[in-house]
């Protein structure tokens, strides 16, 4: 692992920029119904904010906040949310990923249930894309050797 | 063996090119997707899915299975990256 050179300018700028970037990423995911955006785009922005944190700070310090184990679990949780919502539709008696049937368990009418199902899978996609981005960056940037980082 | 593989690749490529002969012209307004599928998505998307953004409703609702595949591809990329690069002491 390469030695770290602390730089107050980069750290301060990242400290100021990362919260708005993460907020904007959540907005892009949640507002995908009304404006361009959705799970893939928002997840990429959220992942980029974590990558920015990795670049500006020590990898070990960021790994204490965003643990690798949790990150790997989140990878599969995102896909599981997507497939799980499809499975719920299947159990309720509709086709796979046919969200209209969700109005049986949600207190809304059919069209709104489809919108909520779409939002659910967008959140799943966002979680998966975010953690995969972070995981790929972490493993490629350190060539997989970030075990005992302080 | 390499020669056999070359023949298989050549044959598959020729088959794929032959398959494109029947396809409608690019952007043809009378082709089946443009005369049946697209108008239906545009007209019914707000009524059926309560989503004003037609791109989102097609991506996540009408073609949800496709998006599930895309998410799985990204997930597989992450898993393969961990499998190939991660060194556990």
pLDDT, residue A148, reads: 59
Whether the CB of A28 is below 8 Å from some CB of chain B: the reply is no
pLDDT, residue B74, reads: 94
Residues A71 and A47: beta-carbon distance below 8 Å? no
Helix and strand numbers, DSSP H then E, in chain B:
5, 0
Output the CA torsion B3→B8→B14→B16 (10° steps).
Answer: -150
pLDDT, residue A150, reads: 42
Mean pLDDT of chain A: 88
| pLDDT of A47 strictly over 60 | yes
Whether the CB of B67 is below 8 Å from some CB of chain A: the reply is yes
- Scanning the structure block, which residue is given the tokens 């119904």? A33
Domain segments of chain B as ranges? 27-89
Domain segments of chain A as ranges? 8-141
In whole angstroms, give the CA distance from residue A78 to residue A130.
Answer: 9
Q: Do A135 and B82 touch (CB under 8 A)?
A: yes
Mean pLDDT of chain B: 89
Q: Which residues of chain B are within 8 Å of residue A32 when distances are taken between CB atoms?
A: 53, 56
């Amino acid at each position: 692992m390469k030695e770290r050179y602390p730089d107050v300018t980069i750290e301060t700028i990242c400290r100021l920029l990362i919260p708005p970037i993460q907020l904007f990423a959540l907005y892009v995911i949640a507002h995908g119904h009304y404006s361009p955006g959705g799970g893939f785009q928002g997840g990429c922005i959220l992942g980029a904010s974590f990558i920015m944190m990795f670049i500006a700070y020590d990898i070990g310090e960021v790994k204490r906040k965003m643990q690798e184990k949790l990150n790997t679990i989140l990878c599969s949780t995102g896909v599981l949310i997507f497939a799980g919502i499809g499975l719920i539709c299947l159990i309720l008696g509709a086709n796979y990923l046919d969200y209209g049937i969700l109005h049986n368990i949600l207190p809304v009418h059919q069209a709104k249930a489809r919108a909520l199902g779409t939002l659910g899978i967008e959140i799943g996609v966002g979680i998966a894309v975010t953690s995969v981005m972070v995981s790929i960056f972490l493993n490629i940037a350190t060539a997989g050797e970030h075990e005992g980082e302080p | 063996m390499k020669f056999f593989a070359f023949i298989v690749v050549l044959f598959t490529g020729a088959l794929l090119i032959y398959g494109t002969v029947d396809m409608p012209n690019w952007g043809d307004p009378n082709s089946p997707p443009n005369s049946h599928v697209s108008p239906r998505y545009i007209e019914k998307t707000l009524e059926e899915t309560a989503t004003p953004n037609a791109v989102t409703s097609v991506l996540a609702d009408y073609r949800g299975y496709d998006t599930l595949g895309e998410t799985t591809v990204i997930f597989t990329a992450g898993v393969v990256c961990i499998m190939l690069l991660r060194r556990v002491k």
